[in-house]
Amino acid sequence: MPKSTEKQETAQHQSKRLSRTPLEKGIHHGKKALSLTVRVGNYIRNIPIIAHFIRATLRFNDRMGNQFGAAITYFSFLSLIPILMLSFAIAGFILASNPDLLAKLINGIANSISDPTLANTLKNSVDTAIKQRTTVGLTGLAIALYSGVNWVSNLRQAILAQFHPVWVRNQEDNEKIYFKYLRDSISLIGLLLALVITLSLTSIAGSAQATIVKMLGLDGIEWLRPSWFLIGLAISISANYLLFLWLFWVLPRHQPERKALLKGTLMAAIGFEALKYIMTMTLPRLANSPSGAAFGSVIGLMTFFYLFARLTLFCAAWIATADNNHKNTE
């Protein structure tokens, strides 16, 4: 092409660009900005960890993670009622076998409450709890077992909804009801054992750490305090890890990909430790307000159960949408 022709085309292009109206210029720059935004968005979405997060979020929402979380919260809070009944029954047995402790409790009620009517009402409540301890205890135990078994079953179904490549009702619904309750009872016992081991590990390790530090005379060294804090944090996260490993590996009776399972369990353990820290900092402040003093414990428990359920189900979705699992389901 002759140079004169190229110069003419360049001149025509420049004249057209200069002759654009402000509206046309704005549209042109808007298109360029939009194109750049799309390219940046596509680049960010293709980052492996962000792409995995997006897949997990889509799986969580598609499999009704919020609704399952609310259902787990409801059943968790409902299960506290028979546990309280059982606790009152145990307290009744302890007081009945220890007259001195019972006398101290009654005298403490009489001395701390100035209203005679209210004091007599509380004394009668204590007497009733002691007299009916067997009935209340057996009733609370039966209801606690029933609600606990159903809670475990609902939690397992919610986790399986995130794990399965295709969300359908599985063959477990066709099991004999007594066999289903037997398996769920064993799962409930396993969960209780996992909780006991987790709490015991955290408590014993924390006490042992404090004792060892005191024996070595290191408790007064200020610059070592962050190290002790990190050690305690690592112990607590390790205990959480065992609990969530049981929830994701044993409870669902489903074997996810091993590497994804370990990573998702670690994420759940760290998230649960952060949740405990936030609740520990928030609940005392909530209890200082007048409404919080009346309903703070209830609101705190429901919030804790709901966030725990959402964390568990989201991490299950994270495990299910790992690269290998995602490629296998496409």
- In the 8-state DSSP scheme, what is residue 248? I
Tokens at 81, concatenated: 């009622």
Residue 244, Cβ density class (10 Å: 0-12 exposed, 13-18 middle, ≥19 buried): buried
53 CB-near residues (< 8 Å, 6+ apart): 318
Angle, CA of 99, 102 and 108, to the nearest 5°: 140
Mind listing the pLDDT tens digit for each residue in 122-149? 667 667 767 777 887 788 778 877 888 8
Percent of the chain with pLDDT over 70: 66
Write out the DSSP string of 27-53. Answer: HHHHHHHHHHHHHHHHHHHTSHHHHHH
- pLDDT for residue 157: 87
Contact 72, 305 (CB under 8 A): yes
Between 185 and 236, the higher pLDDT residue: 236
pLDDT beyond 50 at 223:
yes
Question: What is the average pLDDT across 273-298?
Answer: 74
- pLDDT for residue 207: 66
Q: How far apart are CA 245 and CA 53, in angstroms?
A: 20
Domain ranges of the chain: 65-167
- pLDDT for residue 312: 93
Percent of the chain with pLDDT over 90: 8
Question: What is the average pLDDT across 280-286?
Answer: 76
Question: What is the average pLDDT across 67-76?
Answer: 86
Between 199 and 246, the higher pLDDT residue: 246
pTM confidence score: 0.72
Contact 268, 244 (CB under 8 A): yes
Q: How far apart are CA 116 and CA 133, in angstroms?
A: 25
Q: Roughly how many angstroms between the first and final C-alpha of the chain, as a whole number?
A: 51
Ramachandran angles phi, psi of 184, nearest 5°: -70, -30
Q: How far apart are CA 201 and CA 194, in angstroms?
A: 10
Mind listing the pLDDT tens digit for each residue in 167-181? 665 555 566 666 776
Relative orientation angle of helices 80-96 and 116-131, to the nearest 10 degrees:
90
Q: In the predicted model, what is the mean pLDDT of the chain?
A: 75
CA distances from 229 to 39, 267, 277 (A): 44, 20, 13
Question: What is the average pLDDT across 27-56?
Answer: 77
Residue with tokens 């179904």: 157
